[in-house]
Structure formats: structure tokens, C-alpha cells
Amino acid sequence: MSITNPLLDFSGLPRFGDIRPEHITPAIEALLAECKATVETLEAPGLPASWDSFVTPLDDATERLGRAWGIVGHLNSVVDTPEQRAAYNENLPRVTEFWTALSQNEALYAKYKALRASPEFDTLAPARKKIVENSLRDFRLGGAELTDAAKERFAAIQERQAELSQKFSEHVLDATNAWSLLIEDEAELAGLPDDAKQAARERAEQDGKPGYKFTLHFPSYFPVLQYADKRELREQIYRANATRASEFGPAELDNTPLMKELLALRAEEAALLGYASFAEVSLVPKMAETPAEVEGFLRDLAARAKPYAQRDVQELQAFAKVELGLDELKPWDVAYASEKLREKRYSFSEQELKQYFPEPKALGGLFRVIETLFGVRVKPDEAPVWHPDVRFHRIEALDGRLLGQFYIDLYAREGKRSGAWMDDARGRRLRPDGSLQTPVTYLTCNFSAPVGGKPAVFTHDEVLTLFHEFGHGLHHMLTRVEELGVAGINGVEWDAVELPSQFMENFCWEWEVLSHMTGHVDTGAPLPRALYDKMIAAKNFQAGMQTVRQIEFSLFDMLLHGSFDPAGEVTIQQLLDAVREEVAVLVPPPFNRFQNSFSHIFAGGYAAGYYSYKWAEVLSADAYGKFEEHGGLNPATGAEFLETILSVGGSRPALDSFVAFRGRKPSIDALLRHNGMAEPVAA
């Protein structure tokens, strides 16, 4: 029997071809009603606090809501339309209210505490014990121990934060989509690669206009910064990108007041829970224990990296002055001068290298790495999709068993949030009827689409991004845990969740991998060894600059949610300026409003957690060191990584998983070595 509302059909994969904005409200209302009825049943004092009678039915009801709302949120990110956005925003407060009420439910909290104290707890499998412990922690963080009045305020804070985060994201997307630049004279585009000009021409043609259209989507604007000889053009597009969603644009898209209110609400939430700052709240479920520990880690890394970064800048400034006639290196000159320096020093350009990574070869190479390391097969599969560009695949065991499936949406387009991310469509679990639900993943990027009838070609940075997001996907799809709460990425500490993703990036530098995943887009010729050697020589080009830039963002985020007072005299901009004075080697111009589009921390779940990228990079570099010790693409070491890290998901602490793989605690040495920062900089 066909289910009329596709969002209520959980019999298989999402019916993306059938889902319309008008389905959202009735589906969410029905699922909320179902969840509330289940909760009411489970609250009954006579119901035993056992796994089967209590945890399982709660999981069943809430999973359906989570999956349906996950589909709605995904569509909102990848095919944003006015109708889709309106339906999402209409239901966001209802969904937020439900999850907040659930996390504050004293009866359910008491049942979890009773289960934890019961003899049954000792008989539970480790994964189930972890779920119970996580649930008790989440009830405390959700306000279950607050007074009724405080609970009411806490709930209002959660709802308002959800609304503000969504508005922040909308403002960034709308500001990105609102700006474009049409250039009719091709001479203005001197230095720009042919494929970038071709893409700009096709964008203009789609608007029925002559010339070349540039936007603030990364594949459109960044080649201008990197290659355009005309300095005024670089400045124009840099300024437009650096002032998105700020006071320099339409007032209705300015994120400045949203940021202030979000920070104030987060600080109030922390105070209600008895913490000194939101940073402390954020760290409760993470590996790092205190804000001071994170700040110490970041400052230690900054002290090690800054001499290298300063050397990078001095070299770039000297080169720009002598070779390019730029007496003062402006922010819109950095990418351009860096590319010219790379070309001179290493005798190759990113544009030259890019021609060897057409999409079919890049994906094929990625799949070969996965198949070699983890003993699986990746095959094309079929499913309804939300856009014609989306592909669907399956991962099977060698005996043909389905392990997981994934959607891959690679190209930038209007109505699609910028950046790259992985999200789960559903998790692995053993259903109540005994059947196994396999995991499904969304993998989303914003690369350049095909132009001129050729396949899309990716920069090496984009290949790194592809491997990165797929690492998250593997963490979710190759889990062997059958309890939803800790299967795949569920329940993994936020500052360890980047371990598999950053780990996968390392293989993009291996000759054994690249020789099988490259083929010139015009000739099919594989990557020449001489070009590979140049690429490896340039691997740590400006690694110091890149490292301190990430530390700048991470320290800003931690201080913003730690010691910063949203109601004080110091502004967000002034805090960022102070952080830059401490760690940065390239300071942006006064008009730069990076923070106004810093979606990771204001709309993406990384609040007081952006440091995770660097924290997990220590883990991933050290883990990859074991592969280096055993020859790189080694199936036996891959099987160990699968067994000790990927397969266990969040069923045990991430540090325990790391130690199980590496035989010891992590060391920062591998990270410094991988980034070419193991030796002191010569005076």
C-alpha cells in the first residue's frame, strides 16, 4: 500500500522525487503526536525501567521523527526555495520544543537513573551501557534537574537559538546569492584559466546575458583571487565575499545582531546549568576537559607554527615585491601571489595539476582506496534524488552483504548552502523485528560543475575535501554497532569525530593512490611522476600560514564562548582583532567581517568546538603514522583501523579506540612532521 505522505514512508529510502513543501507540516505534526503519545505511555510509574520496555520504544518513536526532520533539513540545505524554507521555519520551533521537553522530562530521567542502578544494567552489552550513560549526561545538559521556572526559560532559549541559527544560515546563503558581477570585456579577465572563464560564460548565458558572470560561490570567486591579473577585480570580489551578511550590505541580512543575541543566550544557558561559560557546557561530551586545556593546546601549537608562518609571509612579501611589483601585499593579493610563487618555486600550477583529476578518475580512485583498505566493494545503486546531479552508491562486504549506502552531491549551485559536509540519513540498528537497518549517508560538496561538455575537474584541494567527507561517511557506514545511539558517528565525541575524515586525506598524497586516480581530462594520460614529485615538494607550501589561520578561528571561537561578555564593552570584532594580534601573521583589512559568515559556530554545531579540527588532526596524523610504518595502502593495517576505530562508532570513548589502534596515547609529533614543522626555523 502506498503511503500518501512520502515523509511518513519509512519502508525504504527517502522518496525525494515525491516530497513537496506541503508534505512537511502534516508529516511533522503526525510524528510529533506519535512521539508525545509514546512518551506519555513510557512515563507511567508502573512501566518497568528496562531496556526492552522503555529504551527501545522511545528509540523507535524518536527515530522516525529524527529521520523525517533530517530529510527536511537536508533539503533546506541543498535545494532551498521560498516554499521549502517557509515550511522548514514553520516547523522548526515545534521540533525544537519537543526535543527540549524530552531532554527535561523528569519521569524519563528517573527511569534512566533507575535502569542505571538496576541489576539489569550490569548485564547490558557495552554499547547499551554507553547509551544509558550518555542519556543521563544529556538529561543533565538538557535541563532535567532545573526548577520548573528555569526549565521554561531554558526551553525558550533553545527555541530562540534554533531560530537565530537558521536565520544566520539563511542570511549567509541569501547574501551569497544576491551578489554577482557581469564582465563583458574578456580582456578584464587576463590570467583567469579557460575553464573558469567558460563556467562564467555559461552562467551569463543562463541569465540570457553576454559576457561572464561571477558569483560568491567558491568555485566562481576563488579562481579570480587566485589567477586574475587585474588587481582591482581581485579587490572587488574579495571585498564582496569578506563583507557578506554584514552592515556593509542590506540591513535585513546583517548577522551582527544575531551573533550578539546567540552568544548572550548561550551564556544564559550555561548559567542556568551551573557552568561558568558556554565553552564549559560544550566540552562536557568532548574529549577535552576544560576551556583552559583547549586554549593551552591551541597556544602551544601556535608557538610551534608561528615561526614557520612568519617565514611564509616574509617569503611571499619579498616575492610579490620583486617579481610582481607589489610594494604592499594586500589581502586580495595573497592567493594570487601565492599561486605565482608556487609556480616559480615548484614549476607547476594548481591549474595544471587540476587537469589530471577529472571526476570519474577521482571518484574511482577514492573507491579503490576504500576497497583496498577495508575489504569492501563500492557499486552504483539507484534511489530517488533531489537534483539531477546527485549520484547514489552502495557499499557491500565481499560476500555481497549490504553494509551502507550514500548519496553524493558534488557541485555548487544556487539554493545550496556553501561548504562541504556529511550527514546521516539513517543509522545502523537492529530493528525490533530482528531485521538489520543499514546506514545511509549524505555527502555534500560545492565543487565546479562540468563545463564545455567535459567531465568536472577537481583541484587537489577538492580531492582532499572529497576524501575528508568520505572519511565521515565511512565512520557512519562501516560501523558494526547495532544500537542506534552509538552506531556510526552517533555518540562520538565531537573533537574526535574528525579523526577518520582527516585520516583519509593522507592517501591523496600517496603515489600508489594518485597513479590510479588520475588521467588528464583531454588525453587520459596519468599524472606524470615528475609532476607528482613537484606536488610533494610543495605539499607543505605555506603550511605555517594555514595552521595559524585555523588556530586563529579556533581560539576566537573558544574565547568567544568562554571569557567574552556579550553585554560588555568589548565587541566581537575587537575580540577577533585581539586574537589576530596574538596568533595571526596576515591581518585582514578593517572592513573584513569573517565572523558574520562563520556558520560553523553560529549555525553548524561547532560552537566552542571549532578547535576539533586541530585536535583531531593530532589523532589522525598519528594514526596515519602506523600506515606509513607499514607501507601506506596496507590492507592489514586498514583492517585494524576498521576493527578498532571505524566499526565501534561511539560505543566506547574515542581515546580508548585510538589506543586500541596505535598501542599508546596520541602524540603531536606526527602532526608537526606532516606539516613540515618538526625542525626549528633557521634564524
The residues assigned a catalytic role are 469
Sign of CA dihedral 512, 518, 524, 525: negative
Residue carrying C-alpha cell 521523527 = 65
Rounded-to-integer distance, Cα 642 and Cα 652, Å? 15
Beta bridge partners of 183: 212
Radius of gyration of the chain (CA): 25
- How many C-beta neighbours within 10 Å does residue 236 have? 16
**638 CB contacts (<8 Å, ≥6 apart)?**
372, 373, 374, 375, 627
First to last CA, the chain: 76
Q: How far is residue 503 from each of residues 366, 605, 615, 664, measured CA to CA in Å?
A: 13, 21, 13, 17
Residue carrying C-alpha cell 507511567 = 44
DSSP state of 247: T
- Helix, strand, coil share (%) of the chain residues, nearest 5: 60, 5, 35
Residues 82/140, Cβ–Cβ less than 8 Å:
no
Q: What are phi and psi of 590, to 5 degrees?
A: -55, -30
Q: Which residues of 32-61 are buried (b: 16+ CB within 10 A; e: fewer)?
A: bebbeebbeebeeeeeebebeebbbbbbbb
Rounded-to-integer distance, Cα 595 and Cα 246, Å? 9
Q: How far is residue 497 from each of residues 119, 467, 492, measured CA to CA in Å?
A: 33, 15, 6
Parallel, antiparallel or unpaired: strands 440-447 and 402-411 = parallel
Residues 238/332, Cβ–Cβ less than 8 Å:
yes
What is the number of alpha carbons within 13 Å of residue 249 lying toward its C-beta? 25
Residues 278/563, Cβ–Cβ less than 8 Å:
no
Q: How far is residue 496 from each of residues 334, 459, 580, 625, 652, measured CA to CA in Å?
A: 32, 27, 26, 17, 12
Largest CA distance in the chain: 82
Rounded-to-integer distance, Cα 629 and Cα 634, Å? 10
DSSP state of 251: G
Q: Indicate the Cα dihedral angle 199, 465, 14, 364, nearest 10°.
A: 80
